[in-house]
Structure 1
Amino acid sequence: MTLQQLKYIIEIARCGSINEAAKKLFITQPSLSSAVKELEQRLGIEIFVRSSKGVSLSSEGVEFLSYARQVVEQTELLEQRYINKKPTKRLCSISTQHYAFAVNAFVNLIKNNNSDEYEFTLRETRTYDIITDVASFKSEIGIIYLNDFNRKVLSRILKQHHLKFTPLFEASPHVFMSKKHPLAKQNSVTLSQLEDFPYLSFEQGDYNSFYFSEEILSTVYHKKNIYVSDRATLFNLLIGLNGYTISTGILNSDLNGSDIVAIPLEVKEKILVGWITTANAYLNQTAQSYIIELENLIRQYGFQLVK
Structure 2
Amino acid sequence: MTLQQLRYLIAIANHGSISGAAHSLYVSQSSLSVAVRDIERETGVTIFERSNRGITLTNDGIELLGYARQVVEQADLMAQRYAGPGHGGAQRLAITSQHYAFVVEAFLELAEEYEGDGYNFSLRETRTSEVIEDVRDFRSDLGVLYLSTFNESVIGHALEDANLSFNLLFTAQPHVFISENHPLAQRSLVTIDDLTDYPRYSFEQGSNNSFFYAEEPLAELPHEKRIAVSDRGTLSNLLAHHNGYTISTGVLSSEMYTGIASVPLQTTERMRVGYIVHNERQLSELAERYIEKLSLFVEGYQLAAAAL
The equivalent of 1:246 in structure 2 is 247
Q: Report the 3-state secondary structure (helix = DSSP H, G, I; strand = E; otherwise coil) of the residue aligned with 2:302.
A: coil
Cα distance per residue 1:211-238 (max 9 Å; x no partner): 0000111110112111111111011111
The answer to whether the 8 Å contact 2:89/2:117 transfers is: no
In structure 1, how many angstroms separate the alpha carbons of the residues matched to 2:145 and 2:270?
Answer: 14
| SS of structure 1 residue aligned to 2:223 | coil
Superposed CA offset, 1:76-135 (max 9, x none): xxxxxxxxx886222111010111111111111112211242221111100001000111
> What is the correspondence of 1:38-187 to structure 2 with a 5 Å cutoff?
51-52=64-65, 53-54=67-68, 88-187=89-188
**Matched residues in 2 for 1:18 and 1:165: separation?**
33
Structure 1 match to 2:299:
299
Q: Secondary structure at 1:301's aligned position in 2?
A: helix
Q: Quick one: percent identity of the two aligned structures?
A: 41
Unaligned runs of 5+ residues in structure 1 are 1-14, 21-49, 58-68, 74-84
| Structure-to-structure mapping, 1:23-42, within 5 angstroms | none
Partner of residue 278, structure 1: 278
TM-score (norm 1): 0.71
**Matched AA of 2:269:** E
Deviation at 1:239, TM superposition (A): 2.1
- For residues 272 and 51 of structure 1, the distance between their equivalents in structure 2, rounded to whole angstroms, comes to 35
Q: Which has the higher contact order (CA 8 A, sep 6+)?
A: 1
TM-score w.r.t. the length of structure 2 is 0.71
1 CA distance for matches of 2:6 and 2:135? 19
2:44 matched residue in structure 1: none
Match of 1:266 in 2: 266
Larger Rg: 2
Number of equivalent positions = 239
Hey, which bits of structure 1, 4+ residues long, moved more than 2 A?
Answer: 17-20, 50-53
Q: How much does 1:56 deviate?
A: 5.2
Q: Identify the residue that residue 195 of structure 2 maps to in structure 1.
A: 194
* Counterpart-to-counterpart distance in 1, 2:302 and 2:229: 29
Give the letter aligned to residue 273 of structure 1: V
Equivalence for 1:290: 290
Q: How does 1:221-232 map to 2 (within 5 A)?
A: 221-232=222-233
Give 1:178 shift.
1.0
- Alignment partners' CA distance in 1, 2:198 and 2:70: 46
For 1:215 and 1:167, locate their aligned partners in 2 and report how far apart those are by CA, in whole Å: 17
Q: Is the 8 A contact 1:198 1:241 kept in 2?
A: no
- In the alignment, the residues of structure 2 paired with residue 165 and residue 207 of structure 1 have an alpha-carbon distance, to the nearest angstrom, of 20
- 2:219 corresponding residue in structure 1: 218
